[in-house]
Amino acid sequence: MSIRSALLLTAALLAGPAAAQTTPTTGAPAQGAEPQLTAEQAAAQARDLAEQARRTYPQGSASIDQTLWKQAAAAAEQAVTLAPDNAEYLKLRAQIYTEVGFWRQAELAWNAYFRAAPAQPGSAEARQAASAQYNLGYAAYTRNQPDQAARFFATCLDLDAQNVDCATWAARTALEAGNYAQAQTLYARALQLKPGDKTLTYFQGVAQRASQYGPAATRAFSRAYADLDAGRKPQALAGFQEAARTAPNFAEAWREAGRLALELGNAQAARAAYEGAVALPGATGGDRFNLALAREGEQYGLGAVQAFRAAYARYAAGDKAGAEAGFLDATRQNPQYAKAWAWLGRVRYEAKNYTGAAEAYSQAVRLDPGDKSSAYFLRLAQQGK
């Protein structure tokens, strides 16, 4: 059964099981049957049911699958069927579909309303209709239908020029389509609506440089960022890697791939990404730092190396107890990590814990016989001085 049929069936049920009974010869209501609702009564019923639904269901959970909302929509449909030119009932139906997030029906319902009462851009009704367009556009984007998505976002902005979400995603679809000038204009528009937004500023810069990378790499990067926003980190990493492979001069793609690989504990992928970033003219100290981290992580495990570096930061900040705990954690994560043993020995030696220092330094020397500093302090610790 279609949604439309289901709603009409529900509407009939709302009117009462006897409402459809007629005499076989005249078509008049059968004796004892309840009278059909008028359009005004059906609209009032829709409002009452919607209010009951708001009180009954958790805030923000409205859905057409919930009984009260389904009945409210059916009653609104009945009101429109009985008075198809009544703008008030058309708006009521559109508002119900919008509130429950039934976006396609909401779009059709708002279009019908605007035929009866022409849209006033920026009005409350136009903003509600714009929200339906935004959600339809985002759904099209996730289905990899960029042309449809762009049309929905454009219509959204026609209805509500202040809708920052539509401006943002209209810019994103323009960027992915290779319409770089349009993307820059739309990002500037979005930033006027949301000044200082870091993501918008970031993508405005990407749009300005996108011609250097080409549409395939830019689209892969943009899609990867969308995956990242949605929490799909492995897919996002693959997308950033694809963008970097497609355009090896795409520094942001290398950096995003490296950062995400580190977050996911993938030292090999992080090393490859930061090698790509470091090879470019604009490489930063951060790129080189992360490359060293990834290379060391390949050897000893990222967890151990990250524990070591966090401990070193605590040591540099004067937190010697925290540093000792961190260096010890690094050695536990990888007992073959000579540098972590050496620094564990150092903080213990400075704390005059000579027995503990000797234990740590002996491990450092065993793992790295060429470590003259650890060998020297091992002798001093063993002598208790």
- Phi, psi for residue 22 in degrees, rounded to 5: -135, 165
Instruction: Say what the pLDDT of residue 196 is.
Output: 95
Could you read off the pLDDT of 259-296 as tens digits, one per residue? 999 999 999 999 999 999 999 999 999 999 999 999 99
Tens digit of pLDDT per residue, the chain (385 long)? Answer: 344 444 443 444 344 333 333 333 333 444 444 568 899 999 999 999 999 999 999 999 999 999 999 999 999 999 999 999 999 999 999 999 999 999 999 999 999 999 999 999 999 999 999 999 999 999 999 999 999 999 999 999 999 999 999 999 999 999 999 999 999 999 999 999 999 999 999 999 999 999 999 999 999 999 999 999 999 999 999 999 999 999 999 999 999 999 999 999 999 999 999 999 999 999 999 999 999 999 999 999 999 999 999 999 999 999 999 999 999 999 999 999 999 999 999 999 999 999 999 999 999 999 999 999 999 999 999 988 6
Note whether 186 and 167 are within 8 A (CB).
yes
The CA distances from residue 4 to 7, 110, 228, 236, in Å, are 5, 16, 37, 39
Q: Which tokens belong to 350? A: 């400075």
Beta carbons within 8 Å of 115's beta carbon, 6+ residues apart:
none
DSSP string of 37-74, one letter each residue: PPHHHHHHHHHHHHHHHHHHSPTT---TTSHHHHHHHH
191-225: per-residue pLDDT in tens?
999 999 999 999 999 999 999 999 999 999 999 99
**Amino acid at site 128:** Q
Q: Which domains are delineated in the chain?
A: 1-19+35-117 (no CATH), 304-382 (1.25.40.10)
CB contact set of 292 (below 8 Å; sequence gap of 6+) = none
